[in-house]
Amino acid sequence: MVLREMMDIVPGMAHMVSRIEVMSAPGRRRLMSLPWLRDAESIRRALEAVGELIAEDSNPDRAKAMDAIRLGLMQIKEIKGTAARTLQADRLDDIELFELKSFALTVMELRKALMQTDITAVVMPDLEPVADILDPCRARIPHFYVYDDYSTELAAVRKRIKALNADGSDEATREAEQLFITATELEDDIREDLSRQLHTHADAINEALAQVAQLDVLQALSRLAASEHLTKPLAASEGVHYTGLVNPAVRAALAQKGKTYQPVDITLRPGATVITGANMAGKSVLLKSAALAQAMMQFGMYVPAAEARIAPVDEILLSIGD
């Protein structure tokens, strides 16, 4: 079970996901594929990771670093396919080489910003060697070209082509055409060599992509916790207890009408629990709220309650006829 599937099962989950502000395509992909966590230790680690980002976001001294992190995440493009090709040592084209150079430069900036924080849940690989391969002149500009710096022979051929083009005679044009073929072959050889070099860093590239996605999801969950006033739940051994449980979607709808939501305290012990009350008293909303909080915890999110102790479950079954 992944988050994308749970959005169709638990009412209110789609609303919460729509409130999660990831900055990048890899982050969005990671968010939608968050796994259903069944054991308390995995849930604890996931919640602690979110807590690290919340602590950084609440520290005024880290505002500059967190702004730099989010700015960097916004610059990340989806390079999953290109990153996978580095694992196969395929020859990359100029667009793919540009994607990798741009990615490496951004990861370097993210890594620098992370070093100014106490975040341990994300360990960003050093992609400076990748940037060096694709940036022989060390300009550190997000642009790629088969530079003259890669080959003195290519530089000489290009210089000769430029002179012949300036000449303009028929003989010069014919020679330039032949040299253009030579230059193209030299460029292809360089791309082949660059691809081989990048293959040696393929694991670091793919790990960096995974860490970027993880960082993006964590910063988004941190912001969600702040904007929705969520609380870190405790993974209990059995039963469920909420103090001040709310349903964010219903609360938002009521707020638009100038009304307030009445939080609910509830304890559910192993076995059957019967909830009684008048029509339209909120029984169905309570069931949906409890299911939503359960699901949010087991996807590593904070929950919409003032206090929560929740035992992990294998699955959530809902049969609500409204």
pLDDT at 314 over 90: yes
- Angle made by CA atoms 13, 35, 264, in degrees to the nearest 5: 35
Residue 276 confidence (pLDDT): 87
Q: What angle separates helix 248-256 from helix 283-298, to the nearest 10 degrees? A: 130
pLDDT digits (tens, 9 = 90+) for 234-272: 999 999 999 999 999 999 999 999 999 999 999 988 888
CA distance 99 to 43: 35
CA distance 3 to 123: 24
322 confidence band (pLDDT: 50, 70, 90): low
- Which residues are registered as beta bridge partners of 2? 35
Nearest to 133 by CA among 193, 203, 211: 193
Give the pLDDT mean for 212-234.
98
- Which residues are registered as beta bridge partners of 203? none
Give the pLDDT mean for 164-184.
92
pLDDT at 281 over 80: no
Q: For residue 74, what are its two tokens?
A: 């916004």
pTM of the model: 0.92
Outline which parts of the chain fall under CATH 3.40.50.300.
1-19+229-322
Give the CA distances from residue 262 to residues 93, 211, 282, 308, 309, in Å, rounded to whole numbers and listed in that order: 59, 39, 10, 17, 20
What is the fold of 22-146+183-227? MutS, DNA mismatch repair protein; Chain A, domain 3 (1.10.1420)
pLDDT digits (tens, 9 = 90+) for 85-134: 999 989 999 999 999 999 999 999 999 999 999 999 999 999 999 999 99
pLDDT digits (tens, 9 = 90+) for 22-79: 999 999 999 999 999 999 999 999 999 999 999 999 999 999 999 999 999 999 999 9
Residue 77 confidence (pLDDT): 96
Contact (Cβ atoms closer than 8 angstroms) between residue 208 and residue 124: yes
Nearest to 94 by CA among 181, 162, 180, 195: 195
- Angle made by CA atoms 122, 127, 133, in degrees to the nearest 5: 170
Backbone torsion region of residue 229, taken as left when φ is above 0, otherwise alpha when ψ lies between -120 and 50, otherwise beta: left
CATH C-level class of 1-19+229-322:
alpha beta
Place of tokens 């919640």: 47
Outline which parts of the chain fall under CATH 1.10.1420.10.
22-146+183-227
Q: For residue 52, what are its two tokens?
A: 């690290």
Beta-carbon contacts of 240 under 8 Å, excluding residues fewer than 6 positions away, are 266, 267, 268, 290, 294, 309, 310, 311
